[in-house]
C-alpha cells in the first residue's frame, strides 16, 4: 500500500499550506492554512477541498501563523471533528490568532454589505469568531521530541523550527516511510528565537522556500535600530513602529531593552506596546522559556521598559504625552488596527519617525510608505508623510537561502526526495538550482498528488 501526499496549498505560493497524507484508507492533514494576499488566491478559501472534511482523520499543525492554521475553523464547521495535534506554544497562539481572524472575517463581510461591494447578497464571512472558538476545542498539545500516534500505526514527532513560539518541524512515519515537514524555518542567528534543531533523517522532505532567492544582511536588529532611535530621542520625536503582534513586536522590544542596558539608547526613552494581541503574545514568552533566548533578566528588562496599552482610551491618551517616545502598534503592514490612528497623528511632522519592521507586501500602505510616497490615503483622507521613514533590513523570521541549504544538507544521510514548498515561483526556482547538486529536488504543483 502506498503513501501519497496531495499539495492542497503552499505550492507556488507562501500561503494556504495544507498537505494531505493518505495511506491505508486514512487521511492526515499537515497544516491547515488560509490563502492570503491576491484575490485569485483568497478565492481558493471558498472552494471545497477535494476531500470531505469529515473524511480527514486528524490534523497536525507546524505553527500558528494563519497561513498554516487559519483554515481550521472552516474545516471544523464543514464537518471535521478529529484531533488537531500541535505544540503547546502553537495551541496558545492559535487561541489568540484564530478568534481574531474570525472577527476580521466578520468585519470584512459587514463592510462589503454596508457598501454593497459584493455580488453576493448578503456577503458572508468565511467563518466567524464563534466558529474559531469552537475549533480551538480540537487542539491537543504534544511535547517536543516525543513520538506520539496521531492515528493508529502513524507516528509523529515535533522538533524546534525556531520561527515563532511553538513552531515545529514535523517528522511523520507511516508504513516505513519517514516524511519531514520543515514548517517555516527560523534563522540560526535570530535575536529572539533559538536556532532550528538539526533535521532528523527522512526519506522525503517538504522544505519551505520563502527566502529561497535571498540572503539576509549581516547587520543585526540591534545595529539597525540603534542609530535611528538615538536620532529620534535627540530631536524629541515620536517613533511609530507598525509591528506584527507575534515575533516582530517582541524582537523590537527586546532590542530596545538591550540597547538601553548598554547605554546605546537613553534609559528614560518611553516605549509603549499598543496592541492587545501583541500584549497577550508577549506574556506567552514567560510560559515557553525553552524556545527563545530571553532569560529571566532579559524578560524583566523588556517588561520594565515597556508600558502595555490595553484599552482604546489608554491608546488615545498617548496623544497627550510630550517628549520623545516609541509606540509599537499593529498591524505590521499598516493595513488596519490602532497603528492607523498613530500614523494620522504623527506622520505629518518631520521630527517623527515611521520604523517599518518587516517585509511590506505589494499593494499595502506599508509598501507605499517604504517606497517613499509623500502622501498616503488613511482613514478617509490624504495624509502627508513628512516623518523620517526607516525600514529594518534584518528582522525576518525566516531562514535565508544559505540557511535553508545548511539546514537541509545537515541531514545525514541525505533525503531521497526534496519537495520545495511555501515560496513564490522565483524564490523556489532559485533554491531548486542551488540544492540540485545535493539531492533530488522537485517543485510540486497546487493540487498535485505524489506517491512516495
Summarize as ranges the residues that interact with Zn ion (CB under 5 A).
65, 184
Cell of 140: 491537543
3-class secondary structure, 432: helix
| Least Cβ distance, residue 61 to Zn ion (angstroms) | 11
Residue 274 and residue 342 in contact, taking contact as beta carbons nearer than 8 Å: yes
Residue 407 and residue 206 in contact, taking contact as beta carbons nearer than 8 Å: no
| Least Cβ distance, residue 182 to Zn ion (angstroms) | 11
| Least Cβ distance, residue 130 to Zn ion (angstroms) | 25
Q: How far apart are CA 89 and CA 285, in angstroms?
A: 9
**CB nearer to Zn ion: pick between 260 and 292:** 292
| Least Cβ distance, residue 163 to Zn ion (angstroms) | 6
Region label for 253, one of left (φ > 0), alpha (ψ between -120 and 50) or beta (otherwise): alpha
**CB nearer to Zn ion: pick between 65 and 91:** 65
Residue 66 and residue 33 in contact, taking contact as beta carbons nearer than 8 Å: yes
No. of helices (H) and no. of strands (E), the chain: 14, 22
Q: Which DSSP category does 224 fall into?
A: H
Residue 441 and residue 406 in contact, taking contact as beta carbons nearer than 8 Å: no
| Least Cβ distance, residue 67 to Zn ion (angstroms) | 7
Is the bond preceding residue 122 a cis peptide, omega within 30 degrees? Answer: yes
Of 442, 438, 398, nearest to 162 by C-alpha is 398
**CB nearer to Zn ion: pick between 65 and 178:** 65
Q: How far apart are CA 330 and CA 241, in angstroms?
A: 8
State phi, psi for 289 to the nearest 5 degrees.
Answer: -65, -35
| Least Cβ distance, residue 64 to Zn ion (angstroms) | 8
| Least Cβ distance, residue 69 to Zn ion (angstroms) | 10
The Cα angle at residue 87 between residues 166 and 192, in degrees rounded to 5: 15
Q: Which DSSP category does 126 fall into?
A: S
| Least Cβ distance, residue 284 to Zn ion (angstroms) | 16
**CB nearer to Zn ion: pick between 210 and 280:** 210
| Least Cβ distance, residue 66 to Zn ion (angstroms) | 9
Report the DSSP beta bridge partners of residue 173.
155, 178
**CB nearer to Zn ion: pick between 44 and 65:** 65
**CB nearer to Zn ion: pick between 244 and 346:** 244
**CB nearer to Zn ion: pick between 112 and 243:** 243
**CB nearer to Zn ion: pick between 65 and 157:** 65
**CB nearer to Zn ion: pick between 65 and 254:** 65
* HSE toward the beta carbon, residue 314, CA cutoff 13 A: 12
| Strands 353-356 and 238-242, sheet pairing | parallel
Q: How far apart are CA 171 and CA 199, in angstroms?
A: 9
**CB nearer to Zn ion: pick between 174 and 281:** 281
| Least Cβ distance, residue 437 to Zn ion (angstroms) | 28
- Grid coordinates 531521497 are at which residue? 416
Amino acid at each position: 500500500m502506498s503513501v501519497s501526499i496531495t499539495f492542497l496549498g503552499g505550492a507556488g505560493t507562501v500561503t494556504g499550506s495544507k498537505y494531505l497524507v493518505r495511506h491505508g484508507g486514512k487521511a492526515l492533514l499537515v497544516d491547515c492554512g488560509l490563502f492570503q494576499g491576491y484575490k485569485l488566491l483568497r478565492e481558493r478559501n471558498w472552494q471545497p477541498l477535494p476531500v470531505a472534511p469529515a473524511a480527514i482523520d486528524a490534523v497536525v499543525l507546524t505553527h500558528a501563523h494563519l497561513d498554516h492554521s487559519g483554515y481550521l475553523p472552516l474545516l471544523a464547521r464543514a464537518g471535521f471533528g478529529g484531533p488537531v495535534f500541535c505544540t503547546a506554544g502553537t495551541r496558545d497562539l492559535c487561541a489568540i490568532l484564530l478568534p481574531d481572524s474570525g472577527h476580521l472575517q466578520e468585519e470584512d463581510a459587514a463592510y462589503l454589505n454596508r457598501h454593497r461591494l459584493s455580488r453576493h447578497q448578503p456577503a458572508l464571512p468565511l467563518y466567524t469568531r464563534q466558529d474559531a472558538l469552537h475549533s480551538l476545542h480540537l487542539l491537543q498539545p504534544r511535547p517536543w521530541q516525543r513520538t506520539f500516534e496521531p492515528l493508529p500505526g502513524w507516528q509523529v514527532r515535533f522538533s524546534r523550527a525556531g520561527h515563532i513560539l511553538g513552531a515545529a518541524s514535523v517528522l511523520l512515519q507511516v508504513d516505513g516511510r519517514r516524511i519531514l515537514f520543515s514548517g517555516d524555518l527560523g534563522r540560526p542567528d535570530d535575536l529572539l528565537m533559538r536556532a532550528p534543531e538539526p533535521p532528523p533523517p527522512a526519506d522525503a522532505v517538504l522544505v519551505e522556500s520563502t527566502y529561497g532567492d535571498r540572503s539576509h544582511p549581516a547587520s543585526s536588529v540591534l545595529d539597525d535600530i540603534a542609530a535611528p532611535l538615538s536620532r529620534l530621542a535627540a530631536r524629541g520625536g515620536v517613533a511609530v513602529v507598525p509591528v506584527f503582534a507575534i515575533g516582530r513586536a517582541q524582537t523590537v522590544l527586546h532590542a530596545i531593552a538591550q540597547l538601553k542596558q548598554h547605554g546605546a539608547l537613553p534609559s528614560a526613552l518611553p516605549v509603549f506596546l499598543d496592541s492587545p494581541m501583541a500584549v497577550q503574545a508577549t506574556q506567552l514568552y514567560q510560559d515557553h522559556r525553552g524556545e527563545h533566548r530571553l532569560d529571566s533578566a532579559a524578560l524583566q528588562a523588556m517588561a520594565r521598559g515597556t508600558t502595555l496599552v490595553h484599552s482604546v482610551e489608554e491608546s488615545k491618551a498617548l496623544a497627550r504625552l510630550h517628549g520623545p517616545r516609541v509606540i509599537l502598534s499593529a498591524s505590521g503592514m499598516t493595513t488596519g488596527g490602532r497603528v492607523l490612528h498613530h500614523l494620522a497623528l504623527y506622520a505629518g511632522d518631520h521630527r517623527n519617525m515611521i520604523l517599518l519592521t518587516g517585509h511590506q507586501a505589494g499593494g499595502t500602505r506599508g509598501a507605499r510608505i517604504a517606497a517613499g510616497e509623500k502622501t498616503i490615503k488613511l482613514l478617509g483622507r490624504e495624509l502627508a508623510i513628512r516623518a523620517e521613514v526607516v525600514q529594518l533590513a534584518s528582522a525576518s523570521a525566516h531562514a535565508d537561502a544559505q540557511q535553508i541549504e545548511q539546514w537541509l544538507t545537515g541531514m545525514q544521510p541525505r533525503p531521497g526526495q526534496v519537495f520545495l514548498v511555501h515560496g513564490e515561483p522565483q524564490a523556489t526556482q532559485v533554491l531548486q538550482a542551488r540544492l540540485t547538486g545535493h539531492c533530488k529536488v522537485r517543485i510540486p504543483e497546487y493540487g498535485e498528488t505524489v506517491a512516495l
